[in-house]
Structure 1
């Protein structure tokens, strides 16, 4: 029996306000949508829920607002098995993400940080929660200073740090120096390096981090490390309904698979299966598969 990985997530919680349309509007254009949903999301919360559903013991560190969205966000995390004891409530509004999803499964997103903007550091007890975990998951929807404090704390306490550099932005060298595994998509990798070829981007990024995975959408994922390992794992071919949380699903499931001690090729294939299942369903956290679904998909 595999061990249950302990995972801490320091990141954002947002309420996703999702409009479904045949075609996303161009600038200055108004279109009629066919459906609207409010769905708990945020890259931090998404990764936490994905990891918990995949079988991890997950703690969420972050902030929600003192509003109805905050209550719903906390409840959604708890219902998925995420420990919300380190999720603080602050005055003001919770974070929101305004998302347009078209019939091809593509999306465009505007994030309003709200309470997430207050996560500029760790609250009392957060460092201990990170230390108790085996892996810390980080993203960039909270202030960069908060991400840096979390990464440094993990490094000091011997906890593996996994950073998803999204939304893409320039990263200070001191943050990358505290990252063990970087997981950008191909667009983020290009933004960080100025190189559009994922293989060239990977070589450039290995000068800054020891290990990385570049997700390539329907083409799968590329793994590289400083020991010389280079590995491409294809993604299952499925019809995409909504790609909103595919990357977060991948990272959450990956953290569980690696935490269980699986070899990198198996971990990548398992995480890719989780992401493939998620894109076949609408919504962010609502689309994330349970562990049994991932196992059945991998071994039908």
Structure 2
């Protein structure tokens, strides 16, 4: 397996507002500490993989505005090859408005913009890049037909495929037969399967439901309860690392990027899950979605907890 990753997915500019408490429906509140950062699940996962020390390339779309240039520059500075990020004329770059409470909980509204214009033709144009990767990571913030084309290319070329089914879209069931690894969080797993609960029995039933639709391996993040995987038909649970969380935005993306990175570097699933959990734990101690730790930082974190 090539020790490289191709991430096909979304690129956004994130507008953060810190709030004392998340608003209720129809409630107007006053925020503070506004900030602008680069984000989108695709970009976040690509950066996390690159920070983990793996050659990482990104396929995505931005608009012909200042934000698009900022996003491409950001990827390059974080070690991600952005040569295959297309710039679309007359289209805006994707945007996300993010409210963050003091305990790290958040509410996010995304406007897809250029991400919605990433077409199957763009995936086909990246065929050589996909075929040469050790793994391809995708999410659901770009059109499903584009994802299907990319996954078909990857599968035909023996490339490991990792699908993060977020945000939830039931159309994902058509993609599962093309996915070697599927990584929902606990909320997404419940929405996709109709099975709620984090006890062993509920998790096994929910994960088996996704396997019945074609997924080979299912790994789910469980927030403060760590993560779990249904690996070779057996449930594996890892506890969360205890840290003081200040911002949970992007933590799941860090987990996914780090997980994929460790898999192409040769880790087994349990070792990759442990590394990804550590990377995610470090990220929530930092403000903003640009919080993915380096491999050296994760290694030091794990040594301290051995």
Which of 195, 205, 228 is equivalent to 1:222?
A: 228
Secondary structure in structure 2 of the residue aligned to 1:299:
helix
Equivalent runs, 1:116-135 vs 2, <5 Å: 116-123=115-122, 125-135=125-135
Tell me, in whole angstroms, the C-alpha distance in 1 between the residues paired with 2:154 and 2:35: 36
Q: How many residues align?
A: 296
Q: Is the 8 A contact 1:119 1:142 kept in 2?
A: yes
Which residue does 2:282 correspond to in 1? 277
1:144 matched to 2:148 = no
Residue 25 (structure 1) shift: 1.8
Gaps of 5+ in 1: none
Q: Is the 8 A contact 2:106 2:249 kept in 1?
A: yes
Tell me, in whole angstroms, the C-alpha distance in 1 between the residues paired with 2:147 and 2:48: 20
Write out per-residue CA displacement over residues 11-64 of structure 1, whole angstroms, 9 at most, x where no aligned residue: 000001110011122222222212101110000000000000111100000101
Equivalent runs, 1:34-49 vs 2, <5 Å: 34-49=32-47
Which residue does 1:287 correspond to in 2? 291
Tell me, in whole angstroms, the C-alpha distance in 2 between the residues paired with 1:140 and 1:239: 30
Query: Structure 1 174/30 Cα, relative in aligned 2: closer, same or farther at 3 Å?
Result: closer
Tell me, in whole angstroms, the C-alpha distance in 1 between the residues paired with 2:34 and 2:170: 34
Which residue does 2:105 correspond to in 1? 106
Write out per-residue CA displacement over residues 128-178 of structure 1, whole angstroms, 9 at most, x where no aligned residue: 110110100000000111111111111111111100000011035431111
1:30 matched to 2:35 = no
Tell me, in whole angstroms, the C-alpha distance in 1 between the residues paired with 2:204 and 2:48: 27
Which residue does 2:59 correspond to in 1? 61
Tell me, in whole angstroms, the C-alpha distance in 2 between the residues paired with 1:268 and 1:13: 25
Equivalent runs, 1:1-300 vs 2, <5 Å: 5-91=3-89, 92-123=91-122, 125-197=125-197, 198-208=203-213, 209-225=215-231, 227-284=232-289, 286-300=290-304
Query: Structure 1 4/56 Cα, relative in aligned 2: closer, same or farther at 3 Å?
Result: farther
Tell me, in whole angstroms, the C-alpha distance in 2 between the residues paired with 1:190 and 1:122: 33
Residue 125 (structure 1) shift: 3.6
Q: Is the 8 A contact 1:169 1:191 kept in 2?
A: no
Q: Is the 8 A contact 1:122 1:150 kept in 2?
A: no
Tell me, in whole angstroms, the C-alpha distance in 1 between the residues paired with 2:173 and 2:154: 16
Residues 115-124 or 143-152, more deviating: 115-124
Tell me, in whole angstroms, the C-alpha distance in 2 between the residues paired with 1:4 and 1:175: 23
Tell me, in whole angstroms, the C-alpha distance in 1 between the residues paired with 2:121 and 2:302: 38
